[in-house]
Amino acid sequence: MATPENKLAFDGGWQYSPAPESTDHVSIRKKYELFIGGEFVAPVQGKYFDTINPATEERLSRVGLASAGDVDKAVKAARKAYAGWSRLKPAERGKYIFRIARMLQERSREFAAIESLDGGKPIRESRDVDVPLAAAHFFYYAGWADKLEYAFPGRKVKPLGVAGQIIPWNFPLLMAAWKIAPALACGNTVVLKPAETTPLTAMKLAELIADAGVPPGVVNIVTGAGETGAAIVNHPGVDKIAFTGSTDVGRIIQKALAGSNKKYTLELGGKAANIIFADAAIDQAVEGIVNGIFFNQGHVCCAGSRLLVQESVAGAVIQKLRERMETLIVGDPLDKNTDIGAINSKQQLETIRSYLAIGQEEGAEMFQSSCPIPKRGYWCRPTIFTGVSQSNRVVQEEIFGPVLAIQTFRTFDEAVTKANNTPYGLSGGVWTDKGSKIFKMTQSVRAGVVWANTFNKFDPTSPFGGYKESGVGREGGMHGLDAYLKLEA
Amino acid sequence: MSLSAVTSTHKLPDMSRVPTVDEVGVNERVARFQTRSIKSASKVEALKLILSMIDLTTLEGQDTPGKVRQLCQKALHLHDAMPGLPHVAAVCVYPTMVKVAKKALGNSGINIASVATAFPSGQAPLSVKLDDTRMAVAEGANEIDMVISRGEFLAGNYGMVFDEIVAIKDACGDAHLKVILETGELGTLDRVRQASELAMHAGADFIKTSTGKIQPAATMQVTLVMLQAIRDYYAATGRMVGMKPAGGIAHSKLAIHYLVMLRETLGKAWMTPQWFRFGASSLANDVLMQIRKQATGVYQSADYFSKD
């Protein structure tokens, strides 16, 4: 165990000069209208709202506020387009989706910069994760378009119709890709609503889809907040709802859909346990903790927000984690060296701060890295809580920020009990050098995804979704096709 | 000389308790260091720091006193066209050439490192290795780069390898001991970690990746595992141990990645030639070329930089 005088020092000395990504190549319009029927059209009521850069609190653009009337127009446009799109030769549908994928790669620099500007995430992540993965999803589902029968042998496959899709602010472009790609591949048309704090990459995607020559009305994108979302959910012309967001909103949607004929998938919150056994490769496990909770400012539904560490190595793990946290750079999302960007919105920052206060009031010990943070904008230093138990709110509730609650365990069974003692069940992680322990743990943890000796790894071929209050249905992989098809004998 | 004659407080660690290493995780961490973008002022600072950390090396069967004198001249006059450059940390030669280097370098402040212990194979009796070491020190080497007996290590004879290092450290006297693990022959990162622990506990002042005679030589993966071993050893004992990747680091960009890795693994205390070295022969000129480019905005022909 490290003694205090043997601590490493990461402040001072050789520092990295600013290395900001240029925004010369980025074009953001002053105002974005709604994308309906292949055209940008003004919202019926003529209302717009601001989208701001959370790192500077400055306005980036204004986007249309879609009312129920606009949603109705979008659904009708989607319905009109459905007739042609669903009957199009599947290989032709695939061609359009491949084209979207390729164009996304071609414009990746601009998409990455806008994703960072509008959402606050570090350019390293939008450049290396969000945009490439979004393109990968389009590529993957484009390939399925003319092979759907082979995914479900012996069944006849039919599209559902118009899909209403509501996506969150943590991975704006990637979530749009997760939703749009399988829907189109299966022959559906869509009405998509991006989150109100991060609409810009969706609007850029609308431009791209228009440039790709996708038939008008196949993809419609309407911007707005909860009311716009509710109008989509409640619209009688929608055949399927795909929602990613909070468990609270998921409940409202499920209630609204009860008794209707609409198919739905819900991908909701999480409070994943990242479980580290004493026989794990400790240095790599520490890296996994960092990737698990500090990736995307912790705005990740499958974040490893609870650390369960075997007590014999707890001291060493926490010490190493603290040292690693001191090397994380918090700041300008456009700087290529930034590890943790801006918190997505003022509202989310307030939520996170309230949990920091709750944790301390409950008697937990809080450690935050000592990095400097900018004066303007919304920021939160990477934070860990120790001395907490299953009864602490910071252990029970989803914080959706760079905040980790650390507990210890003694036995395998204790780890499983604690990991499963949550209303959520989206993801989990296990770190051990023993293969047999990995298999036993992945079978015992009730979560949709369990990563072994890694964390937060995504691939379009892999299904993703939750148990319990983390959601219903699966997205990604072959499972993701099922959500957008009627299967008949 | 028998091993029992060596009095030491060093103790061989239990190899079965050395932390394991996950190669996939190491690769990911290394890739992350390589995404750091080092520009403008921080780049110039890094390049100068790299120059000051170089052990300018010639370790060839064909080395002659003339060749070693050339190398020393280069060490003393890296690129006089640009004033204000630091000098390299050391010149690294075979024991027979130490005397030549000593005379050529005088009291310039540049250290003389000598490989010893039947470099590069290490296949010689301990008595020969000790004589090799003592001779190099007597001729004026103030740093000794020894090789471990990889065959014995891989066969599990850890005690033998450990005792050898202890004995050679003793023979070094005041000279600093760098222990070469020859990671290209160890095969796995787990063994690299074990060998690092063994060498540090036996009294190594530095641990070093490679002789440069075996491929792969230094890699960022291997160096990261060794840096992590140094960090844990420091946490446990309070003793700082230096690190020297050697072989295969020929370009500034790669050397800067190593500095990023050092900074984010061990922190600022290790960011000096006292605790970190690059064993390299061709790196210096590439760094000089980059420094010149940073100053003038254009690359000069390689012919403007002396090749010795």
Does B283 map to a domain? yes
Domain residue extents for chain A: 31-268+467-488, 270-452
Instruction: Tell me, yes or no, whether B215 lies in a domain.
Output: yes
Residue B21 to residue A283, Cβ atoms within 8 A: yes
* DSSP secondary structure of B188-256: SHHHHHHHHHHHHHTT-SEEE---SSSSS---HHHHHHHHHHHHHHHHHH----EEE-BSS--SHHHHH
Most B CBs within 10 Å, among A284, A310, A451, to test the B interface: A284
Percent of chain A with pLDDT over 70: 99
| pLDDT tens-digit readout, A5-63 | 688 999 888 999 999 999 999 999 999 999 999 999 999 999 999 999 999 999 999 99
Q: What is the mean pLDDT of chain A?
A: 97
Number of domains in chain B: 1
Q: Is the pLDDT of residue B93 over 50?
A: yes
Q: How far is B24 from chain A (nearest CA, A)?
A: 9
Provide the domain limits for residue B232: 16-294
Q: What angle do CA A352, A355, A357 make, to 5 degrees?
A: 115
Instruction: Please give the positions of A annotated as active site.
Output: 267, 301
pLDDT reported for residue B1: 37
Q: Could you read off the pLDDT of A190-249 as tens digits, one per residue?
A: 999 999 999 999 999 999 999 999 999 999 999 999 999 999 999 999 999 999 999 999
Q: What class has domain A270-452?
A: alpha beta
Backbone torsion region of residue A443, taken as left when φ is above 0, otherwise alpha when ψ lies between -120 and 50, otherwise beta: alpha
8 Å CB contact of B22 and A281: yes
Tell whether domain A31-268+467-488 is in CATH 3.40.605.10.
yes
Of A4-13, A69-78, B3-12, B213-222, the one with minimum mean pLDDT is: B3-12
ipTM, 2 decimals? 0.94
Nearest partner of A425 among A408, A449, A405, judged by Cα: A449
- Chain A positions touching B271 (Cβ under 8 A) are 13-14
Q: Hey, is the C-beta of A6 within 8 angstroms of any chain B C-beta?
A: yes
| CA–CA min distance A182, chain B (Å) | 30
Q: Which two tokens stand for residue A223?
A: 């911007």
pLDDT tens-place string over residues B230-281: 999 999 999 999 999 999 999 999 999 999 999 999 999 999 999 999 999 8
Query: How near does any CA of chain A get to the CA of B232, in Å?
Result: 8
Q: Is residue B2 part of a domain?
A: no
A348-370: average pLDDT:
98
CB of A342 closer than 8 Å to CB of A378? yes
Q: Sorting pLDDT into bands at 50, 70 and 90, what band is A314?
A: very high
CA distance A128 to A123: 8
**CATH classification at residue B156:** 3.20.20.70
User: How many alpha carbons fall within 13 Å on the CB side of residue A489?
Assistant: 0
Cα–Cα distance, A10 to A388 (Å, whole number)? 28
Q: How confident is the model at residue B68 (pLDDT cuts 50, 70, 90)?
A: very high
User: Is B6 inside a domain boundary?
Assistant: no
Q: Residues B18, B197: contact at Cβ < 8 Å?
A: yes
Which of A131-135, B181-185, B277-281 is least confident?
Answer: B277-281
Q: pLDDT for A87-102, tens place per residue? A: 999 999 999 999 999 9
Evaluate if residue A302 carries a pLDDT over 70: yes
| A:B CB pairs within 8 Å | 94
